Structure formats: C-alpha cells, structure tokens
Structure 1
Amino acid sequence: MSNTIWYTRCPVPTASGIAKQRDMFNSAFADSGWAVRNIRERGESGDKLNTHFSHDLDDSFREGGGSPPVWARANGADTSLLGVSFIEETLGLFVRADDDSIKSVPDLVGKRLALPVWPELIMNFFRFAAQKAFVSALQLEGIPESEANFVDVVETGDHFQLLNPSFSEGKERTIKSYYTCQAQALLSGEVDAIFAKGGEIAAMLAESDGKIRMLTNLIDAEPMWAKVNNATPRILTVSNSLVRENPEQVITYARTLLQAAKWAQTHHDEADVAMAKETGVTPADIHTYYTRDLYDKLMPELSVRMLDAVEVLKTFLYEHDFIDNNFSTEEWMAKELLQEAYSREGIDWRE
C-alpha cells in the first residue's frame, strides 16, 4: 500500500496546474511508494474541502492565492512556505458602462464600492482582494482609505466548486462567474464599482452583456505594493509533517513544479490550453487577462522580491483584521528544501 501526498490548487495559472495537466506527479512519484492525490478524493463535504483554506491536512501541498495560507499560518497551521510566484494578471475596477459620473479613480470618492460577503467561506479571500484593490487604487491617487465607502454584497455561489474544479478535468464549465452577484448589484444600481481579476473577468463580462466597463487596471501600476492582491503573489505551502518526516518527497514535489514551469517556458501554445482548462476560460482569455511573460513566472522561488510581496500581503491582512498574528515570514520558510530542488534541477537560485 502506498502513502498519500494530497494536493490542492486554485483555478489560476500555476506550476501545479501544469504538472497536473501533464500527469507529471504520477511520473515523478512512480517508484517512490507515494501516490499524489486530489483532496476531493477524500470526499466532497465542507469539513474535508476546507483544508484548501485552513491547510490542516497532514502530508499535503497547496498552491494558489496568497491570503488563505497566510491566514492559516496566522491561525496556527503547521505549514512551511516552500515557494512564491508573482504572475501578473488583470486587477480591474469595474463600473457601469453608462455611468458618466465615474471617469477616473478619484471619482470613486463617495461612491459605493462593493465588498463581497461569502457566508460559508471560512477565509473570505474575495473580500480581501476587493478591499486591497480599491485601497491601492485610491492610494495611488493620494486618496486615503478613509474616503472609501464600502458596501457589502452577498455572493450566493458554491465556493467549493472553485477548488480543483471539474472544468480542469476537461468537463464543460457550468458554474457562474465568481462575481455574479456583485455584477448584478452594479447593474441594478445598488453599488457603483466592483473588483474582478484574472481570467474570471471573461466569465463576468459574458454574463453582463457589455453593460460593464473597466475603469482601471492595477497591473499597470508601477510599484509592486499596488499590484499585490490575493493571487499576486501565489503561495506554495506544505504540511510540516512532510517537511519533518519525508523531506525527500517535498524535494521531489518541488522538482516536479520546477520541471513543469520549465516546460511551459518553451511550449506556450500547449501551456495556454492547459491554463485555459485550469481557469475555466479560453486560451484567448489567457492572452487577454495575463501578461505574456506569465510562463517565465510560474517557477516558485524565495527571492527577496517574492518575500517582499508576501510581506505587503501579510501586513495588509493584519492591519485590516483578517489576521491577528503578524508572524515572521523568515521563520515560516523551508528554504533549504526548495534550494535543494533547484540544485538537483541545475537551476540557478534566485536571490
């Protein structure tokens, strides 16, 4: 009987997604006595799937948006930070297409800015993402957060459908946009602006029939702090049960992700198809909503730049009461294991 490594990933471009699409985990662990399995194989109940956010499952890896693993660690999750990537994607603030009163970001002062409420979500990363985007956009214009008028909008979708989603297995996408209720609130005049990001914007705009326009895209901002959001950076974490007891398996897993990232660098068209499956959109949407150097940025690293991005994210979470423990990132890292993976793959370490 083999041991099990569990994995979970967000529906965004990641090295984990490439590795899954290309069946690289099975190849990497074929003779190890370990099987790599999706957390959904444990069952579909919320108490089983919530480990995607809480990372309380032993012998597991998670790669995806940065705020849940930071929240989990702040709440005592026994994890290590194994790597960070920063894949730039559209970070858009959207208004009604016919709203002539909002022509630029300063016009948002006094307007109703939507913050989503997901009643069953144990860590509301969607709310963090929206709040961070609005605050950053205002701060770039020299406008303090105190000028923002935030309004709650309840989203009614099933957030569990976002975890290792069925459309990543080639099945037809049947779920609505993650921003459906906020877009409806915008169109009905309940709010004046909403936030949406990445390839999921395509699904939202398709539902909105051309009645929504993008006011600004934070990915065009110059300073990194303004671009930091839930999925910028993406964070790779690992259970410390593996770090302590089976470090070789951690190194093998990390090597697999490095190999997947290297493959994507030279196979853009195939990688576009794989990433479209991962995100539930089309290859054309990958071109539209992600910068074209995305395949140079899939590789997890622990460089100063990546760790700076984690600090910006963590500090915002702490200062806005998403977490109550601003822990040490340095003490969270399993740097030596990622360094060993780089060494065995013959890749220069990134400082």
Structure 2
Amino acid sequence: MSSKKTTVERISITRCPVPTASSVAFDRGFLQKELAKAGILASVLQDEKDAAMHGAHFDHSLPFLVREGGNIPALWARSTGRDTRLVALVWVDEYQTILALPDANISGPADLRGRRIGIPRHRYLEIDFRAAQALRGFHSALWLAGLTLDDVEPVDLEAPSAGRRDSWDTEIDALRRREVDAIFVKGATGLQAARTLDVREVADLGFHPDPLVRVNNGVPRAVTVDAELIEHSGVVERVLTALLRAADWAADHRGDLTRVIAAETGASPEFVETAYRNGSLRPALHENLLAALDAQRKFLFEHGFLAGDFNVREWVHAGPLAAAEKNYYEGVSNHD
C-alpha cells in the first residue's frame, strides 16, 4: 500500500569502513548509474551534513536506507523491532587475532585461562558492537582451547566518543599499561597495529579452518534494507545488481580494489592485501552463510547484546537477489 503513497526518488547507502561491494560500486559509479535508470538518486549516508542522520548506520532508522556492513548493528536493529529485511550476506575472511605482550607468557589460547581480557566499552553507542566483537573473538579463541569466557576475567575499557570507532588505541594503551593481559583486534587496521607494535599474536581466528571460528561482526557482513523499499518493485534488485557487478569487477582488479579498501579503512595497502586475502564481495544467501549469521545471533542474544530474539531465516527476503542474479548474469552472457 505504501508504494502507492510514496515515490522513491532518493535512497541512502551506508557501509562500514571495510571491504564492501557498496564501496566499490560507488567508486566505479555502478550504483549511481543503475539507480539513475529508474530516476533514483543514490546518496552516501556518511556524506550527509546533518550529523544526526549518521546514527541510522547503527539503528537503521532512516527511510529508504540500504546498509552493508557488520552484522552486529544489523542484528541488533532487527531485534529492537526495526522493520528491515536481510537481502544478502557477504563472506570476506579478515585478519582476527588475540594480542598479548611478549613477556606475558601467553603463547596460545590455553594460556588465557585466568587472565584479564580487555573489552572496549563505547557506552555512547546504542549498540556497543566493539564490545560484542571483542567478546566474540575471545569466545572463539577460548573455545579452541576447550575454555569459555567463564575462565577469564573481562576488564571494561572505557573508550572516548571522539576519534575513529575502529581505532584500537583504547585496547592497545591498556595492554601497554598492563591493565589487561590480552586484547582482540581485527581487519587491516588491527593487522597494522600487530605488525608495528611489540606484541605477540596468540590465536589465528580470521583464517582458521573452521568457518564458525571466523564468525564475528565482519563475517558474514549483512546487506539490509528498509522494509518499505521491498514494496517498490525493482529498487532493491537494482541495488543488488550494482553490487554483483562491483564484486565481479573487484575480482578482476585486485590492485584497484586494494586502493578502494585502503581509502575506506585508513590502513596501508600492504596490510589491506594481507588482512583481506580471502573471499569475494559477491552478495549471496547460501545456507552456510545463514547458519553462520544464526550462530552470531545466538551468541549476541545469550550475552545480552540483542533487545529480543528472532528467527534469522524469517528475516530474509530472497526475491531481489534472485532477480538481480538472473538479470545481471543474463546480461553478462548476452554481452559475451
């Protein structure tokens, strides 16, 4: 019914500072061109002058919003009752590890027993995804040694509201001051910190053979949309078509992809190449992706990060991706 009352003239796109098809699609103009065919303007949420709008990246409160990024805010927003739809998932393995000082006598996950683990607290955020992802990282590392979070001592590290939210300064400073014995880091910026500091990597989580060990905020990433967009025929399909095109382009242009990701993350290209060396930016909805996301939902709910529980598979709206894949790949084939 709402499609008869409103017209989509502009949609907002938001993405996390990590490898995403959205960032490539904007960089190459794929999103703008695809949506322009329907007379729709594509704008970047982070470019909005009204800073109050930026919070929609976490709570999905902006009408006609498309979000690609970490799964924790997406799951949290849905748990609060926000009317969104999960239209795709993306699996890009990323560097994830636990760091300790060289003289801490922590050489592996088993040595974390009884130790103090640093949990950054960004209490000014509605959903403290940094605390959640740190706990998830430690949970995975401890599981490898047959331990649980009950076997360690979490230490809250109060993070300031100023500065980049993906900075590891709060955790690193606490480690250096020996207020904690171990911290969790991830991504290109985490790898850059690990390689440039005198620290020891305690566990390889991001490239572990068991995919469930790799699950965290960034694995898998979620593509979610304001539910009202679904009612406007073809709009979400166009967005996903642009993301598919961007993913294929990225696979054939690794050097340019590194440039885009380095600009997004603020990390040096050499760390980008190592931190995100596996995976594809292609959106999908395979069962293994949904199972991984469901495992994340369960963890977050059990540890109090979700407002309520819900069924991940009932959140999925698969139609737009199926249509986008059909039309996009038929178009590619026709051009061959």
TM-score, normalised relative to structure 2: 0.92
Q: Distance in 1 between matches of 2:136 and 2:32?
A: 38
Match of 1:167 in 2: none
Partner of 2:321: 338
In 2, Cα distance between equivalents of 1:301 and 1:158: 35
Q: Equivalent residue of 2:234, what SS?
A: helix
CA distance in 2, matches of 1:158, 1:8: 20
> Superposed, which structure 2 residues align to 1:45-84 within 5 Å?
45=51, 47-84=52-89
> Aligned equivalents of 1:93 and 1:44: distance in 2?
37
Q: Which residue of 1 aligns with 2:221?
A: 234
Aligned ranges for residues 123-272 of structure 1 at < 5 Å?
Answer: 123-158=127-162, 161=164, 178-205=167-194, 210-244=197-231, 246-272=232-258
Q: Which amino acid aligns with 1:337?
A: P
Task: Output one character per residue of 1:55-110: Cα deviation in whole Å (capped at 9) or x when no partner.
Answer: 011111000001100000000111100100111011110011332x2121111111
Unaligned runs of 5+ in 1: 163-176
Distance 2:244 2:141 in 1: 34
For 2:288, give the aligned amino acid: R
Once structures 1 and 2 are overlaid, which stretch shifts more, 280-289 or 83-92? 280-289
Compare 273-282 and 107-116 and name the one that shifted more.
Answer: 273-282
Shift of 1:205: 4.1
C-alpha distance after superposition, 1:184-243 (max 9, x if no partner): 00001100000000111145347xx52222111112323222111010110000001111
| Among candidates 268, 271, 275, match of residue 261 of structure 2 | 275
Letter in 2 for 1:248: G
8 Å contact kept, 1:59–1:239: yes
Q: Percent identity?
A: 31
Does the alignment pair 1:15 with 2:21?
yes
Deviation at 1:282, TM superposition (A): 2.1
RMSD, aligned CA: 1.8
Paired residues of 1:29 and 1:36 also in contact (CA < 8 A)? yes
Matched residue type, 1:204: A
2:31 maps to 25
- Which letter does structure 1 place at the counterpart of 2:189? E
SS in 2 for 1:8: strand
Aligned residues: 324
Return the offset for 1:48: 1.6
| Aligned counterparts of 1:157 and 1:261: Cα–Cα separation in 2 | 33
1:260 Cα offset (Å): 0.2
- Describe the shift of the 1:221–1:41 C-alpha distance in structure 2 as closer, same or farther (beyond 3 A): closer
Match of 2:333 in 1: none
If the length of structure 1 is used for normalisation, what is the TM-score? 0.88
